[in-house]
Structure 1
Amino acid sequence: MIVFQAATRETFWLIGSTGKAVFYYLAAVAILVFLYGVYARFMRYTQGSDDPLDRLGDLGTRLRTATKLVATNEKQFDRDIYAGIMHTFILWGFLVLVVATAILGFDIDLYRPLMGESFWVGDFYLAYQFVVDAFGLLFVIGVGMAIYRRYVVHNHRLWGKHTSLEDDLFVWALFLLGVGGFLVQAISMVGQPQRATETVSFVGFAMAEGFRAIGMDAALAATLYPWVWWHHSLLAFAFIAWIPYAKPFHMISSFGNIVVRDEKAGARLPSVPADLDHVNAESIDDFTWKELLDQDACTKCGRCSSACPAKASGRPLDPRDVILDLKSYREGLDNGAEPTPIIADGGNSVIAAETMESCMACMACMDACPVEIEHLSSFTRMNRQLTDEGAIKSSMQDVFGNLMQKGNTFGEAPRKRADWAAELEFDIPDARETSVEYLWYVGDYPSYDERNKKVARSLATLFEAAGVSFGILFDDEKYDGNDIRRVGEEFLYLELAGHHVESFEACEFDQIVCTDPHSYNTMKNEYPEIDFAEFADDPIMPFEYDEYWNADGDIQVLHWTQVVEQLVSDGRLGLSGTELDYTVTYHDPCHLGRYNDEYEAPRALIRATGAELYEMPRSHDDSFCCGGGGGGLWMDLEEDVKPSEERLREALEDTEAGDRIEKFVVACPMCTTMFEDGRKTGNFEDAIEIVDIAELLIEALDVSGSIETVSQSQTDSDDSSPPATAD
């Protein structure tokens, strides 16, 4: 029986001095190959262009946050509990086995030679063996779950054009390492009688008992042990050396990618320098070092592809393939391949133009990615290349022309911008002439599109009813620039931003409130990032403003639902919460939800009307894009089914209330436009009504008597004119 305090074992049992020497030699070679590979990877990143963001500022906080995200596996659990459990078992099993190996190496190679004794004995040894067996078992179970999902279930998102032998080698190498460790332990226990009662090594003990049951004795174990031990050791060395050169490198690059992530990625695109150096995608090294790291961090998990509404709609975009296509191209160049265009309209290129045109800039791919790949940065870079070459759809060229000539996407006269307010029974103040609490940026669609003019009138009526001090810019207001920037038109975006900040500076107000989440996003997150001084002296730029605007966030930029929700909470609109008895569902706009994490204010307003709200299966940060973002509002694209049609189908078929849903509630003019279009093309006109929250509130106020009368033009959406889309 084992003497408890003396419990230990021989690490190199039956290996001998020559075997030990060979072992250490191979270990050194494997580590050197590993270190060189990691060095070469990181040196390759230095060939990318500089990143305009400070990716290493407050490094301590970044490391703590990244460690928390990785350790908890919270992104892996998001929308996929099976994957979360699987990855947690693999990650923690692997980490504990690595740490355990390091502890043993420290004892053998440093502590024993210096101290003349080992700490790997007694209680510590027994506890060590139990922990190693427990986490080793979790590791094997986790890898087994991965094998089951990949090869038995054949989960669709794990397979694609970049699935290759390295994926098979990776998962099976992990499995063989885990099982091999237990085999080495079990055979050792059969061959060493002093370990016969080492039950703390419960997995090895059970396997040893099984081997004895089928006839293995100590002599046979001693014969087999060196072969099994060397097989396990050589596989471990090969795996270590292989890590920087294939898929296992994501164990390093993914953590690094999370450390240097931009928490506002997507919501703010990196600003461009005045010399336009490395802003496009003429070569792979125009991509920043972070964008190159993104490519190596990709684990091929397919979460981005599964979340992408463009892919779901049959468009030719697969976010995973774009990132991996760029990686494959880069690696090909590094191995001597001939360069080709990164992106082009037709012909031979790494990425086809139609692929990038398909992107809705909804950020679903980035939200789903467990390793913080910033897809939109790379996508926008390629869009800039297309725009610079003029290789964009004619409908987008028309939009650019309208903006350059008229300042709005409709090509309408600027003097007509506030005509929507003519039917109101009160005057809207001019924020250029009077001090106001809220400077209201109305936006293009509420100003010029007949359907959305009703939303603007409803919102103005809400402000008036609540006694809000507000004003607008009238013909000084232009298009905000958010979506043309994501299509790649950076300079026109800068012109619009410069014009607006100069207009803002000439007004007296406390806060900016936006009708459109797209305007809200760019004014809140992107206008403050622009160094206007770099462009103010350019004769092409129609502004002289030469500072950062709102860099300290002193001016609060809000979406109108946030403002009105506070008004309702303060009792300034007199709603009891019982006025309406509709059964409704709500669509989270991408730029309000995923971009800016605002989910509750719109829902609070819906509940304030008395309407019964049912959530769609895809809601909050999992919301399915309407298809209007990223220029989709102005493009006619080939699709199996329009995203707006799919979303309306989901509302009526997959929501718990089913076809009892009467109203499809939105909080974005672009969404209103897309869903009104989808209601017609998808034959949903008799099944459901599209209504903005502002219109729902006006109806509730009319019922409550807080507003004596509401003109037909404000509330009647049945006779609305066709939405202004390319369709």
Structure 2
Amino acid sequence: MLTTPERIAFVLLVLICGGLAFSGFRNIVRIVRRGAPADRSDNLAGRFVRALVDVGLQKTVFKARPWVSFFHAFIFFGFSFYLLVNINDILEAFIDGWSTIGGGPIASAFNLFSDLFSVLVLTGMVMLLLRRFVQKPKSLTFNSSVKLHSKVTSGGVRTDSLIVGVFILLHVGSRWLGTALHLAEKGHGDAWLPTASIASIPFRGLPTSTLELGIHTCWWMAMGLIVLFLPYFPRSKHLHLMVAPINLALAKRTPRGELTGVANATEPGAETLTDLPWTQLLDSYACIMCNRCQDACPAHASGTPLSPAALEINKRYYVNEHAAQVAGGGAVANLLDFAITQDAVWSCTSCYACVEVCPVGNEPMMDLIEMRRGMVFEGKMADEVAEVLRNLDEKGNSFGDSARKRARWSKKLDFKIPDARKESVEYLWFVGDFASFDPQSQEVSKAVANLLHEAGVSFGILYEGERSAGNDIRRVGEEGLFDALAQQNAELLEQCEFEKIFTTDPHTFNALKNEYGPYAGAGQFEVVHYSTLLVELLNSGRLPIKAELGGRGTYHDPCFLGRYNGGFDAPREVITASGVELVEMPRNRENSFCCGAGGGRIWMKDHDDVTERPSENRIREALALGDIDFFVVACPKDLTMYRDAVKTSGNEGKIEVVDIVDLLNRAMTGDRSSESNKEAAA
């Protein structure tokens, strides 16, 4: 189809633009390789097969924003098929007589798909551009205190989106119009090209020379634009087309609740971009800048300076701006200088929501933990965090109380809980700091103990021998202290005789289940959350229900039980067994909204920019369900956070925050009043 001069011009254009693009891609490889070591080499074939399936089915995209995902799927499937379309167009241009119009069954099927996918891509792209530039959703903006690269504040992301959007419209639209002109030249439509046939009607009857000019112009608009776009591609967010599948394939495959250890104990954490593991440098190239992670972030929703999206976007704009310097091994700026503020680093609750919701497999939370590790190592932390870490180092608990007070709550029971250090038990109860020292949580601990005793369960505790399990210590960034506490606990556990460990604290549950494996004797034991144990006892008839409570309740999924460890069903079974009608909040299970206590945030003061605490946001969500009696929790920290939130949000008397064991206890005794609330009030 193309003339000889056109063919020569196209080849030269490919060589020039391809060479420029190659330079950009080479810089990307060099920059990523400068990152710290990270091993993602296990089962590479399986990793990439799984990633291709997930991408092919758009599974990660449809986790959120269903309508946006729907139109994105139009573009994805259409653009994927357009790889074949573009190959066909090259063949048509360079092989005389090549055409699929009027061909056999395979050519006809190809034409039908190319015709329909063209319309789908154009429709999807128009809808997404209307959303960004006309609707302008709040989710695409940032809190005023969020640190942003200067090019982002001047509209760089919007400009990039517009360039990519216009490119797709022109590329696909020109190809589709070119097909219509081909049909007009033939003087008739084609049943296998339905939309192009309709579009060809106005052009039929035009002079052949005019149609030929139009066909050549459309070809160059379609194929020439691709070639011209190549040098821009490595700098554009459109790069996610290539990097996202790779990023998903190389994602962390160990348990969600198991943090990657420190590579260099003498210089832990990250201060500069290249201190981050190379996988986290790859994240910035995979990022599509959709802000879904920001939507899910409780810290950003509260008004703090943290935006996981801004972190990845800032990283990307920095490496774009300094690509040659970074790729060449030159000096790299401190992350706090361009990517994020120190306040934002400490605003993270380590809830994992940003990682779970990301459609391209990014892990911005891990950047923050790496930065915290470096800051803690250098003593750069809030005074209240430093005080808690001293308490943990000296006393073994975050409250700073004597270890002898750890089991004081149990003295109010009518029986003595066996000492698991001295006698064999079926269940070793690792109580945890909050369940041991917090007054409200102590009442839940007593209720659990009474129920287990009544059910005839053989269980014991470690008394003053127990130390903090270290889950939040590790997420604050104090690896050395976590290691010391975990080692002490592991050595003590190894000396005890028991069959299983259970705990009422999801944070403790996560640490024991996922992070104690490397410590002698600790990794061999089964660890269960108390909700699982309660369900087993209910099903076996050892916890008989006297009178169903009635009423309506909603349940909050704790991050470290639900999103991290998949513990969704057992707490709900306890609630329904108690006779309470369960009404789900819009954000539930994997999509649950963090209470704001994790990542050590429960030890820190609220940021000055906070407009609404995550816990208050959640109470408002529950009340919006209408006529809800109980806000049910299965975590000691949640009990404290949400009872406080009911008060600070002015909703006292409108909803009761209760633990699952409180509901069960009432159903078993027939007493509808809350023992834990009575004790807390007293």
> For residues 18 and 106 of structure 2, what CA distance do their matches in structure 1 show?
28
Asked whether the 8 Å contact 2:37–2:263 carries over to 1, the reply is: no
Report the Cα offset of residue 559 of structure 1: 0.8
One-letter amino acid of the counterpart of residue 170, structure 2:
L
SS in 2 for 1:360: coil
Asked whether the 8 Å contact 2:48–2:246 carries over to 1, the reply is: no
The alpha-carbon distance between structure 1 residues 504 and 106, as it changes in their structure 2 partners (threshold 3 A), is farther
Q: Does 1:611 align with 2:596?
A: no
Report the Cα offset of residue 507 of structure 1: 1.0
Return 580-589 or 237-246, whichever deviates more. Answer: 237-246
Q: Which residue of 1 aligns with 2:239?
A: 249
Q: Which residue of 1 aligns with 2:145?
A: none
Report the Cα offset of residue 671 of structure 1: 0.7
Report the Cα offset of residue 256 of structure 1: 0.8
Asked whether the 8 Å contact 2:293–2:355 carries over to 1, the reply is: yes
Q: Which residue of 1 aligns with 2:60?
A: 75
Q: Which residue of 1 aligns with 2:85?
A: 100
| Cα offsets for 1:326-346 (capped at 9, x unmatched) | 333344443559754323xxx
The alpha-carbon distance between structure 1 residues 509 and 150, as it changes in their structure 2 partners (threshold 3 A), is same
Asked whether the 8 Å contact 1:266–1:376 carries over to 2, the reply is: no
Report the Cα offset of residue 320 of structure 1: 0.3
Which residue, 636, 653, 666 being the options, matches 2:633?
A: 666
One-letter amino acid of the counterpart of residue 173, structure 1:
F
Q: Which residue of 2 aligns with 1:184?
A: 178
Gap runs ≥5 in structure 2: 143-147
> For residues 285 and 265 of structure 1, what CA distance do their matches in structure 2 show?
25
| Cα offsets for 1:611-631 (capped at 9, x unmatched) | 122212222222221111111
> For residues 79 and 46 of structure 1, what CA distance do their matches in structure 2 show?
32
Q: Does 1:20 align with 2:7?
A: yes
Q: Which residue of 2 aligns with 1:626?
A: 595
Q: TM-score, normalised by structure 2?
A: 0.92
> For residues 197 and 542 of structure 2, what CA distance do their matches in structure 1 show?
72
SS in 2 for 1:580: coil
> For residues 594 and 61 of structure 1, what CA distance do their matches in structure 2 show?
24
Report the Cα offset of residue 101 of structure 1: 2.7
One-letter amino acid of the counterpart of residue 369, structure 2:
T
Q: Which residue of 2 aligns with 1:379?
A: 368
> For residues 589 and 401 of structure 1, what CA distance do their matches in structure 2 show?
27
SS in 1 for 2:554: strand
Report the Cα offset of residue 479 of structure 1: 0.9
Q: Which residue of 2 aligns with 1:210?
A: 202
Asked whether the 8 Å contact 1:192–1:218 carries over to 2, the reply is: no
One-letter amino acid of the counterpart of residue 221, structure 1:
L
One-letter amino acid of the counterpart of residue 544, structure 2:
G
| Cα offsets for 1:533-587 (capped at 9, x unmatched) | xxxxxxxxxxxxxx5842xxx42111111111121122221226x5212322211
| Greater relative contact order, per chain length (Cα 8 Å cut-off, separation 6+) | 2
List aligned pairs for 1:254-403, cutoff 5 A: 254-264=244-254, 266-273=256-263, 275-277=265-267, 279-336=268-325, 339-343=332-336, 350-403=339-392
| Cα offsets for 1:267-298 (capped at 9, x unmatched) | 22101246344x32222111011010111111
Q: Which residue of 1 aligns with 2:125?
A: 143
SS in 2 for 1:691: strand
One-letter amino acid of the counterpart of residue 472, structure 2:
D
> For residues 18 and 321 of structure 2, what CA distance do their matches in structure 1 show?
26
> For residues 141 and 381 of structure 1, what CA distance do their matches in structure 2 show?
42
> For residues 318 and 409 of structure 1, what CA distance do their matches in structure 2 show?
28
List aligned pairs for 1:484-523, cutoff 5 A: 484-523=473-512
> For residues 36 and 393 of structure 1, what CA distance do their matches in structure 2 show?
44
One-letter amino acid of the counterpart of residue 106, structure 2:
F
SS in 1 for 2:599: helix
Q: Which residue of 2 aligns with 1:220?
A: 210
Which residue, 402, 422, 431 being the options, matches 1:413?
A: 402
Return 222-231 or 409-418, whichever deviates more. Answer: 222-231
Q: Which residue of 1 aligns with 2:675?
A: 715
List aligned pairs for 1:433-582, cutoff 5 A: 433-528=422-517, 530=518, 547=520, 549-550=522-523, 554-575=524-545, 578-582=547-551
Which residue, 22, 43, 48 being the options, matches 1:63?
A: 48
SS in 2 for 1:151: helix
Identity of aligned pairs, percent? 34
Return 295-304 or 72-81, whichever deviates more. Answer: 72-81
Q: Which residue of 2 aligns with 1:539?
A: none
One-letter amino acid of the counterpart of residue 614, structure 1:
V
Asked whether the 8 Å contact 2:27–2:323 carries over to 1, the reply is: no
Q: Which residue of 1 aligns with 2:225?
A: 235
Asked whether the 8 Å contact 2:115–2:194 carries over to 1, the reply is: yes
> For residues 35 and 424 of structure 1, what CA distance do their matches in structure 2 show?
72
Report the Cα offset of residue 259 of structure 1: 0.3
Which residue, 645, 661, 665 being the options, matches 1:698?
A: 665
Q: Which residue of 2 aligns with 1:538?
A: none
Return 218-227 or 82-91, whichever deviates more. Answer: 218-227
Return 151-160 or 84-93, whichever deviates more. Answer: 151-160
One-letter amino acid of the counterpart of residue 165, structure 1:
T
Asked whether the 8 Å contact 1:584–1:663 carries over to 2, the reply is: yes
Report the Cα offset of residue 478 of structure 1: 0.8
| Cα offsets for 1:583-610 (capped at 9, x unmatched) | 2221111111111111110000001111
The alpha-carbon distance between structure 1 residues 28 and 198, as it changes in their structure 2 partners (threshold 3 A), is farther
Report the Cα offset of residue 670 of structure 1: 0.6
Asked whether the 8 Å contact 1:190–1:218 carries over to 2, the reply is: no
| Cα offsets for 1:374-399 (capped at 9, x unmatched) | 12211101111221222211111110
Return 561-570 or 603-612, whichever deviates more. Answer: 561-570
SS in 2 for 1:513: strand
Q: Which residue of 2 aligns with 1:647?
A: 618
> For residues 130 and 255 of structure 1, what CA distance do their matches in structure 2 show?
28
Q: TM-score, normalised by structure 1?
A: 0.86
SS in 2 for 1:629: coil
Asked whether the 8 Å contact 2:78–2:117 carries over to 1, the reply is: yes
One-letter amino acid of the counterpart of residue 474, structure 1:
Y
SS in 2 for 1:720: helix
The alpha-carbon distance between structure 1 residues 185 and 241, as it changes in their structure 2 partners (threshold 3 A), is farther
> For residues 339 and 181 of structure 1, what CA distance do their matches in structure 2 show?
43
Gap runs ≥5 in structure 1: 1-11, 533-546, 705-709, 723-727
Report the Cα offset of residue 349 of structure 1: 5.8
Which residue, 628, 640, 646 being the options, matches 1:679?
A: 646
> For residues 254 and 181 of structure 1, what CA distance do their matches in structure 2 show?
26
> For residues 562 and 121 of structure 2, what CA distance do their matches in structure 1 show?
36
Report the Cα offset of residue 321 of structure 1: 0.5
Asked whether the 8 Å contact 1:34–1:243 carries over to 2, the reply is: yes
One-letter amino acid of the counterpart of residue 383, structure 1:
R
Q: Does 1:199 align with 2:191?
A: yes
> For residues 349 and 246 of structure 1, what CA distance do their matches in structure 2 show?
19
> For residues 588 and 391 of structure 2, what CA distance do their matches in structure 1 show?
35
SS in 2 for 1:690: strand
One-letter amino acid of the counterpart of residue 366, structure 1:
V
Which residue, 138, 142, 149 being the options, matches 1:156?
A: 138
Asked whether the 8 Å contact 2:100–2:108 carries over to 1, the reply is: no
> For residues 435 and 557 of structure 1, what CA distance do their matches in structure 2 show?
17
SS in 2 for 1:661: coil
SS in 2 for 1:566: helix
> For residues 77 and 521 of structure 2, what CA distance do their matches in structure 1 show?
45
One-letter amino acid of the counterpart of residue 176, structure 2:
F
SS in 1 for 2:280: helix
Asked whether the 8 Å contact 1:353–1:386 carries over to 2, the reply is: no
SS in 2 for 1:272: coil
> For residues 348 and 568 of structure 2, what CA distance do their matches in structure 1 show?
23
Report the Cα offset of residue 66 of structure 1: 0.8
Report the Cα offset of residue 28 of structure 1: 4.1
